[in-house]
Amino acid sequence: MKIKYKLLLLLLVSTLTPLFISLFITYNTVQKRLKEEFITYHTKEINQLNKSLQLSITDVDNKLMSIYQTSEIYNYVTAPAKDEPDLVEQQSRVKNLLIVLSGSLNNYSDVYLFVRPLHKLYSINAHERSIQSTPVVHEGDYAWISKAEAGDGMMTIFPTAPEPSDRVQPLFFIGRSIPDIIVKKPMAVLGVSMDANFFGDLLSNQYEHERIVVMNADNRPIFSTQKEVDKPENFIEITSEKNMYGWSVITYFPKSILEQTALQTVKSILYWGVLFLLVGIILAMFIALQISKPVAQLVRRMKDVGQGDFSVKEQDTNLSRKDEIGYLANQFDRMVFKIDELIQNEYDLKLSESYAQVKALQAQINPHFLYNTLTSIYSEALDAGATSITTMIKALSSMFRYTIEPGSDVVHLAREIEHIEHYLLIQKYRFEDKLTYSVDIAEHLLHIPTVKLSLQPIVENALIHGVAGKGKGSVHIKAVEEDDEVRIIVIDSGIGLSTDELNQLALHLTNKVNFEQHIGLNNVQQRILHAFPGSTGIQIESEIGQWTKVTISWKGIGHAQGVNCG
């Protein structure tokens, strides 16, 4: 394959790969964010909808109470008049109250008043608007009577059974029994049955593309805007909080809408990507031609030399360039004229090659080069006014310098605390408000010797296995001096450790069992015991799901044998 095609292929691969990766990441990120925003928005919406249902039911009950508490209703149901004229007058007033009640209600199916002493049922249908009086022979035909009476005067809500009728079917019943305050027995039931129109005004057209299901306190569906979905896995289900009546609202939203929205976002990126790709291909072809043409001419000249023709002296226009190819052509000419000399100097060239290899090895990145690079980045960020970046780089540089600097393995506690504060500062930028920390070290303890880099593995475990596992938390570091030992205590509010995990760690720290994990803890333990003989070392306590406390104890000033702080 010619070099120009290789260059073009390399450009296509290097361009298309990040493009497709970017599209994939963008699509998933947008879809995830849309889903989170959608769930948050619709959870708020259906909670508000459920609250509106609660208010509507309360409004119906308040209107029931407006005639429930009247003396006309109470006297009629507890002590019907003996004389016919008085009874007829009582009935007339009660009917008028029922008519007033029906006129104040919206989207109801029927208004009912069952009078037990007379075994009579008064009803007003929302469509007919006329009051009907029906004798009740079998109370079992009216299930709502016994259920309302069981409420003992409190508001009762329950679903109603379908009726053999062509009109809109009632979905649930709201009512109260009217007890005789003397004999403490239910004497009547006043209630309203509600149909689908009750929910229609609340839902309006806002949810016409969604399936809304209203569940009662028994978690039974009362109303649904659409039939049950065929494939639930293709829908997002969002459930509201229960209202004061135990009702909840569930909405099902198709995932395809989120996917289409995310796809539309990605399409714009794809269009721009294709445009840039086409421009890149054109530029690549031009650049490839500029590179491949002089290279091909140089190859032809090399073939001539390979066939013994050393008479090639004049350079072509394309090979007289000042770039690397021109330099290569010039060197080739020098090689042609000095071939014999170059053969004689083969040994020198090999020495030069070895020297170049040494230089290449010396140019490899080392810790000091990285530290100097961080310092340069810090200066650039400082000039650019990137305060947070300069703070992080400064902390990281200090940590790096502390880590690589030569000297003793034992340092003053002040330096170790400064190092761990830099580490926590960097982690604070990562966790943001999810992490809080504090460092409480008495001034007189800061000059006590300790093992270098002994705190970082402990704090790292507190963040990775504790705080990060819980999503948020705190880390507190303090120092005390007890029983001729200095004790650094690291407490986190993370997920904690089980009893089995604590026992395994204890065995690991005493070298009674070998684990591939927790190498850092064991390393710190061994270094402390070596540097400060007779010290306690690391002790771990925890409460699962609450906290973990790691205590590092070592002999204080005057007990470190042969220790010299670096």
pLDDT tens readout for residues 178-205: 998 888 889 999 999 988 888 877 776 6
Q: What are phi and psi of 341, to 5 degrees?
A: -65, -40
What is the rounded distance in angstroms from the CA atom of residue 31 to the CA atom of residue 489? 44
* Residue among 46, 39, 43 nearest 215 (CA): 46
What pLDDT sits at residue 51? 93
Lowest-confidence pick of 93-97, 163-167, 559-563: 559-563
548 neighbors 466 (Cβ within 8 angstroms): yes
Higher-confidence residue: 258 or 464? 464
DSSP letters of 490-544? Answer: EEE-SS---HHHHHHHHHHHTTSS--SS-HHHHHHHHHHHHHSTT--EEEEEEET
Lowest-confidence pick of 99-103, 363-367, 392-396, 436-440: 363-367
Q: Comparing 23-259 with 435-555, is the CATH topology the same?
A: no
Count CA atoms closer than 13 A to 539's CA, side-chain side.
Answer: 9
Judged against a pLDDT cut of 90, whether residue 417 lies above it is answered with: yes
Region 540-546: mean pLDDT is 91
Tell which CATH architecture fits domain 435-555. Answer: 2-Layer Sandwich (3.30)
What pLDDT sits at residue 364? 41
pLDDT digits (tens, 9 = 90+) for 69-87: 888 888 888 877 677 788 8
Provide the residue ranges of all domains of the chain, joining segments of one domain with +.
23-259, 310-362, 435-555
Sheet bearing 248-254, strands edge to edge: 221-224, 211-215, 248-254, 235-239
**Confidence class of residue 153 from pLDDT cuts 50, 70 and 90?**
confident
CATH 3.30.450.20 fits 23-259, yes or no: yes
Higher-confidence residue: 417 or 430? 417
What is the rounded distance in angstroms from the CA atom of residue 333 to the CA atom of residue 331? 5
Q: Give the mean pLDDT of the chain.
A: 79
**Confidence class of residue 419 from pLDDT cuts 50, 70 and 90?**
very high
pLDDT digits (tens, 9 = 90+) for 156-174: 998 875 554 455 678 899 9
Judged against a pLDDT cut of 50, whether residue 412 lies above it is answered with: yes
User: Using CB atoms within 10 A of its CB, is residue 39 exposed (0-12), middle (13-18) or buried (19+)?
Assistant: middle
Judged against a pLDDT cut of 60, whether residue 347 lies above it is answered with: no
**Confidence class of residue 365 from pLDDT cuts 50, 70 and 90?**
very low
**Confidence class of residue 288 from pLDDT cuts 50, 70 and 90?**
low
Instruction: Tally DSSP H helices, then E strands, for the chain.
Output: 16, 17
What pLDDT sits at residue 401? 82
User: Using CB atoms within 10 A of its CB, is residue 328 exposed (0-12), middle (13-18) or buried (19+)?
Assistant: middle
Region 542-561: mean pLDDT is 80
Percent above pLDDT 70 for the chain: 82
160 neighbors 148 (Cβ within 8 angstroms): no
